[in-house]
Amino acid sequence: MHLTDIWFLLIAVLWTGYLVLEGFDFGVGMLLPAVAKEPVDRQVTLRTIGPVWDGNEVWLLVAGGATFAAFPFWYATLFSGFYLALLVILVALIVRGLALEYRNKLPDGAWHRRWDLAITIGSAVPALLWGVALANIVRGVPLDAQHNFTGNFFTLLNPYALLGGLTTLVLFALHGAIFLALKTHGPVRDRARALVLPLGGATALLAAAFLIWTQSYDGSWITWTLAVLAAVCLLGGIIASRAGRDGLGFLGTAATIVLAAATLFVTLYPNVLPSTTDPAFSLTTTNAASTHYTLTIMTWVAAVFTPIVLLYQSYTYWVFRGRLTRDDIPQAARQARAA
């Protein structure tokens, strides 16, 4: 296996890890109005992701940085062609981060409601647009002979990409609902569990349509197997959650995201960004890669620091592994009465 193939695999792993971890973050943010009717319940809901959401975003930074260093031509074409969509995602992530940090700075109900709305929108927009971006990467975009994107923002909003965006939007909402069921007791958990079945049904329909459409581009027995396994894990996660096995339910939706992302990256390989203008203009793991020396240095750096980051993040999840209830938020309850 060449270094270019190894780094394509590593980047796929990094993006997949980001989708799994930020997926439930986004889901919790999107479901905030639905699962938290009282101020104290909103505190419970947001505290489930409070200790981990910024650590989860590290995966985005590492994935983006690795893409830039290992495949600079892919990065350049992607970020120039998808500039407006990525800018909207960046603004949404900044607004969401500000909301999570600032909403508790004042004991004022109106202040909280404004930041809660920002959290909901700031979670839904990236959940939708990451799906749109991934779908366009797999389907391909118009590129010229110099690998420059020749379309515009509306080129990216094709039916296949919008279906991909809706799929990630609903899948992340389901992932977040099951995470809330796993991490809470009381009214928040009850409402989150009640959402699992309708969200699961919508996810199954959209994901099936999206993955079958994806197979029509360049499907193989490997991608069909991955897609079927993703469907099995989704069904298993829904059944487990409804049976009260929240941990298994969460593993089911996490595995669904992993297998769905694997289906997309296997379908994409050896391209990293196909051209719909002419297949000869496509960016591949060969013509988009950095030099062998650069990839060698990156491999050594990744071998040293990746285990450290994984250990630190695992420790964070272990420390905050308990369930949350209203009794854990005495100060928030007092603020609610004041508001």
Identify the pLDDT of residue 337.
47
- Rounded to 10 degrees, what is the CA torsion of 82, 84, 85, 86? 80
Angstrom CA distances, 10 to 7, 14, 91, 103, 265, stand at 5, 6, 27, 36, 11
Among 32-46, 114-128, 211-225, 244-258, which is the least confidently predicted range? 211-225
Confidence of residue 339 (pLDDT cuts 50, 70, 90): very low
Residue 215 token pair: 């197979």
Identify the pLDDT of residue 135.
93
Identify the pLDDT of residue 333.
53
**Number of domains into which the chain is organized:** 1
Distance CA 242, CA 71 (A): 43
Q: Determine, yes or no, domain membership for 337.
A: no
Distance CA 101, CA 129 (A): 23
Q: pTM for the full model?
A: 0.93
Q: Determine, yes or no, domain membership for 4.
A: no
Is 69 in contact with 294 (CB distance < 8 Å)?
yes
- Between CA 91 and CA 286, with CA 67 as vertex, the angle to 5 degrees is 145
CB-based contacts of 92-101 (< 8 A; 24+ apart in sequence): 92/121, 92/122, 92/123, 92/125, 92/126, 92/129, 93/57, 93/122, 93/126, 95/121, 95/122, 96/29, 96/122, 96/123, 96/126, 97/54, 97/57, 97/122, 100/46, 100/49, 100/50, 100/53
Average pLDDT, the chain: 90
Q: Determine, yes or no, domain membership for 242.
A: yes
pLDDT digits (tens, 9 = 90+) for 239-273: 999 998 999 999 999 999 999 999 999 999 999 99
- Dihedral sign, CA of 30, 36, 39, 44? negative
Q: Average pLDDT for residues 34-58, to the nearest whole number?
A: 90
Confidence of residue 338 (pLDDT cuts 50, 70, 90): very low
Q: Determine, yes or no, domain membership for 300.
A: yes
Q: Determine, yes or no, domain membership for 22.
A: yes
Q: Average pLDDT for residues 147-170, to the nearest whole number?
A: 91
Distant-in-sequence, close-in-space partners of 213: CB < 8 Å, separation ≥ 6? 160, 163
Q: Determine, yes or no, domain membership for 329.
A: no
Whether residue 307 is predicted with pLDDT greater than 80 in this model: the reply is: yes
Query: Which domain covers residue 212, as residue numbers?
Result: 11-324
Any idea what the CATH number is for the domain that residue 311 is in? 1.20.1630
Q: Determine, yes or no, domain membership for 56.
A: yes
Whether residue 32 is predicted with pLDDT greater than 70 in this model: the reply is: yes
Identify the pLDDT of residue 331.
60
Whether residue 281 is predicted with pLDDT greater than 90 in this model: the reply is: yes
Q: What percent of the chain lies above the pLDDT cut of 90?
A: 67
Distant-in-sequence, close-in-space partners of 302: CB < 8 Å, separation ≥ 6? 10, 66
CB 33: neighbour CB atoms within 10 A?
14
Distance CA 53, CA 199 (A): 22
Q: Determine, yes or no, domain membership for 334.
A: no
